[in-house]
Amino acid sequence: MLILLRLLAILLIPVLGYMGLRRLAIRYSLNQRQFNLLLLLSAMLGVIVILIVLGRIPPSFILAPIMVAGTFLLRNLHLLIRLLPLWQMFRKKTHTAYGSSGGNDSSSIRTRFLQMELQHSTGDMDGEVLEGAHRGARLSALDLAALMALVDECRVDNDSLQLLEAYLDRVHPQWRGQSEGQGEAQGQGGTVAEEKMDRATALEILGLTDGATEDEIVLAHRRLMQKMHPDRGGSGYLAKKINAARDFLLGRH
């Protein structure tokens, strides 16, 4: 009976462990790199647990290091607290470097007038003007007057207009008070058909590459929505685009 229970534990531990890790990855929006690291650490711990269940190693093999580590932490807690700001600074710099290296920490949306980049980690937005008087300029390099002129140019394209409005809402929250004829602009924009979603566009919006798994799509969507949801100060237009990209890739369109 004891042997049977041990065999059952050996079979269940990896399966339940993997399912638990998947739930954690979705809940906390872990990227693929973070999930792989967590999976590796969990696999190492799982091997130790299985060996303990089989009686190959004594429980003290894992309890002793935990007790030693706990004692070390208690004795050096004051030092660790002092080092915490340095760790946070290092983590921030590392995260920024990773985001700017072209990894899956960023995604982009392209319209007729704009190529907009979204940083998943910070929610920051910036973009390049593709058409019009400011063609080739970065949005962050334009003052509010130039951006308002760009709004007028974008009125002929609903996607470009709404994308620029989302940028202005985030960077210049008071811009609408300086905009004349805003209601007319929105009315004109609403009559223009929005661009249809395709696979390449959906992958670009979510910052994914072709061959992304369903879990990766869900994680990318959740991570973006944590920054771009209207309830968290994001844009309704961007949230709609992000949802549409997820639905298209998951076959819900």
The answer to whether residue 97 is domain-embedded is no
What pLDDT score does 80 carry? 66
Q: How far apart are CA 165 and CA 110, in angstroms?
A: 14
71-100 core/surface letters (b: 16 or more CB in 10 A; e: else): eeeeeeeeeeeeeeeeeeeeeeeeeeebbe
What pLDDT score does 154 carry? 92
Contact indicator for 223, 29 with CB cutoff of 8 Å = yes
The answer to whether residue 100 is domain-embedded is no
Same domain, 129 and 182: yes
Same domain, 69 and 125: no
The answer to whether residue 96 is domain-embedded is no
Same domain, 13 and 114: no
What pLDDT score does 194 carry? 53
Same domain, 133 and 65: no
What pLDDT score does 183 carry? 46
pLDDT along the chain (253 residues), means of 10: 72 81 73 78 81 76 77 75 62 48 67 87 84 92 90 90 87 73 44 66 87 88 80 76 89 74
Provide the domain count of the chain: 2
Those residues whose C-beta lies under 8 Å from the C-beta of residue 214, and which sit 6 or more positions away, are 250
What pLDDT score does 185 carry? 42
Same domain, 117 and 228: yes
The answer to whether residue 238 is domain-embedded is yes
Of 171, 176, 185, the C-alpha closest to 143 is 171
- The CATH number of whichever domain residue 119 belongs to comes to 1.10.287.110
> Could you tell me the residue range of the domain that residue 221 belongs to?
106-249
Of 29, 214, 210, the C-alpha closest to 121 is 29
